[in-house]
Structure 1
């Protein structure tokens, strides 16, 4: 009996240790791969389509996944620091911070209507005095928010490069709010994301208010576009196994090639496809953001 008890004492830690090791294996039921989606559209739309993505990933890889929708991109960045995030579809500025602080790697770039890059647009009332970018000197200009690449940082770089200084700036916090403020004459001009028209249909930020303001295209005009920068990336925690990263990347590309995947990516990310990318593809963005927001703010 004593020998039996002694054996249980000696073997107990081994058994428990074995269970602990199994639990620590990334991609298992006990420790699923944590995939974060930055909220950019309606929460229900994200939730419904993230389940479609989860089912596809689990069916076509040997891994289990947990897809989470945090409150904002800052929460995603912080999650990489505590290993509560393994993969994320994140905005460009969030990637910049996560890469700078935790070495997070870009492995895929979102494609929108055949383009891997995007631009900001400067908008103004068609019947107003703002006709060119230089006309913004000393004027009141609306931006989205200080952390928005297309709605503030990229337009800010454009203005700085031209040595144009608005007299007053307003943060409307949403792209559609910027468009509305311009339409209503609350500001002289504003900056939002730009997407080229598709099949004659408006795709830039003005389309967000077209139901409310059917004449938005006639009343609010684009006065200039910024330089292009890479679209938002899908990123991975640096110390994830390389084989695991490659398998997930390949499966996401396969997902993007299916009709169901195309629909889900469009609804979740506004994406029509994905392409492989590397951190070096974002060097120009890092250079821009380190100049405009050197403290990561």
Structure 2
């Protein structure tokens, strides 16, 4: 009897009866919002609080509804593009590299930090340690952000490899402020995070993220050296997203960061003081560098 009921219900659904609805709602509607991902590069509460401000602005200044989420890792964001669970993402450079390679994800905007479209990694250590140069990191315990973080792992790793420096132990703290905290507390000998130059006499690198907890962090944790510069992180879009949608969202993000509240929120979430339009071609040099560091699998 149960099998017959299921068969009848299936037939009714197929013929449009019995109130069965399988039509996918229009993307950007309340039922099917645009899925915007933020990578977990800073404190989760900071991201969550400021993502609400971003969501409200985007919904007020575009015809679309949004769902802004913070997956557990960079890789989770990349994988979401493969299953259409992500439409837009503010992602790190290596995550973009993987998503573009696997799913054709497109860079449309690049983060600007205090007038610069490029960034560097910084190597940090406690000011009272004997570590003065990168050579002093030989055989030491070092904290990085995440295996998929460009500024927090891959770029500093390239610097260490180029100088033939071998570490005793590697620890992944999963975000930049945690790396600084581990150094401050003496849990590791050194660490690597993003670097931004000081502004108006105030530090803007990753150490600023923990100044509330540790007001003396600038004195207790020092910069040893910087890496070479590369293009800043992009904001990327799913390849088959309608072009009109990409343009409207990009324009709204540019308008958002131009407002005082938007600039503050983007700075807290992404370390961004502005955005600029960009293309995949702007990241060709990064792709070439990563190909040498992450060989193609045969």
Q: Which range, TM-score by smaller chain?
A: 0.7 to 0.9
Aligned residue in 2 for 1:282: 283
Verify: 1:99 aligned to 2:97, yes or no: no
Q: Say yes or no: does 1:113 pair with 2:120.
A: no
TM-score by length of 1: 0.82
RMSD of Structure 2 on Structure 1 (CA) = 2.9
| Comparing 222-231 and 207-216, the one that deviates more | 207-216
2:250 maps to what in 1?
249
Contact in 2 for aligned 1:25/1:31 (Cα 8 Å): yes
Answering whether residue 164 of structure 2 is matched by residue 163 of structure 1, we say yes
- Kindly indicate whether the alpha-carbon contact (under 8 Å) linking 2:97 and 2:287 is maintained by their aligned counterparts in 1: yes
Offset, 1:93: 2.1
- The answer on whether the counterparts of 2:41 and 2:176 sit within 8 Å (CA) in structure 1 is no
Q: The residue matched to 1:239 in structure 2 has which SS?
A: coil
Q: Does 1:90 align with 2:79?
A: no
- Secondary structure at the aligned position of 1:163 is classed as coil
Secondary structure, counterpart of 1:71 in structure 2: coil
Residues 176, 295 of structure 1: alpha-carbon distance in 2 compared, 3 angstrom cutoff = farther
Residue 287 to residue 250, structure 1, CA distance change in 2 (3 Å):
same
Residues 150-159 or 54-63, more deviating:
54-63
How many equivalent pairs are there? Answer: 283
Aligned to 1:131: 132
Q: CA separation of 1:259/1:239 partners in 2, compared to 1, >3 Å: closer, same or farther? A: same
* Structure 1 residues 127 and 39: CA distance shift in structure 2, 3 A: closer
CA drift at 1:185: 4.7
- How far the C-alpha of 1:186 sits from its partner, in A, is 4.8
Deviations 1:22-47 (A, max 9, x none): x4432233322222222334444433
Task: Flag structure 1 segments of 5+ consecutive residues without an equivalent.
Answer: 1-8
SS at match of 2:32: coil
Is the contact between residue 36 and residue 88 of structure 1 (CA under 8 Å) also seen in structure 2? yes
CA contact (8 A) 1:157 1:288 kept: no
Give CA-to-partner distance per residue, 1:100-128, whole Å, 9 cap, x none. Answer: 11111111111222222211111234444
SS in 2 for 1:165: coil
Q: Conserved in 2, the CA contact under 8 Å of 1:80 and 1:102? A: yes
**Counterpart position of 1:204:** 205
Aligned to 1:154: 155
